[in-house]
Amino acid sequence: MISHSNKSNQTLQLKDGRQMGYAEFGDMNGKPVFFFHGTPGARLFRHPDESIATALTARIITIERPGYGLSDFNPDNTLVNWTQDVVQLADFLNIEQFVVAGVSGGGPYVLACASEIPERIIRVGVISSVSPLDESQVTKGMNAINRVLFGVGQHSPFLLKPLLSPIALIARKNPQKLFDYGLRNYFPVHDQKVLFQPGVRDMFLEYLPQAFDRGTRGFALDMKIFAESWGFQLKNISQQVYLWHGEKDENVPANTIPNCEARFYPGEGHLLIFNHWQEILSTLVS
Domain chopping of the chain, boundaries = 10-285
Instruction: Please report the pLDDT score of residue 5 as a whole number.
Output: 47
The matching CATH number, chosen from 3.40.50.1820, 3.40.630.30, 3.30.43.10, 3.40.250.10, for 10-285 is 3.40.50.1820
Instruction: Please report the pLDDT score of residue 172 as a whole number.
Output: 86
State how far the Cα of 20 lies from the Cα of 62, in Å rounded to an integer. 11
**pTM (predicted TM-score):** 0.91
Instruction: Please report the pLDDT score of residue 3 as a whole number.
Output: 37
Instruction: Please report the pLDDT score of residue 73 as a whole number.
Output: 96
Nearest CA to 129 among 259, 257, 281, 238?
Answer: 257
Question: Phi-psi bin for 142: left (phi > 0), alpha (psi -120 to 50), beta?
Answer: beta
Regions of the chain where pLDDT drops below 70: 1-6, 134-146, 150, 153, 253-256
State how far the Cα of 103 lies from the Cα of 73, in Å rounded to an integer. 21
Instruction: Please report the pLDDT score of residue 68 as a whole number.
Output: 96
Instruction: Please report the pLDDT score of residue 146 as a whole number.
Output: 63
Nearest CA to 45 among 67, 68, 19?
Answer: 68
Instruction: Please report the pLDDT score of residue 4 as a whole number.
Output: 43
Q: What totals of helices (H) and strands (E) does the chain contain, helices first?
A: 10, 8
Q: Hey, is 7 helix, strand or coil?
A: coil
218 with 67: CB under 8 angstroms? yes
Dmax (CA) for the chain in angstroms is 46
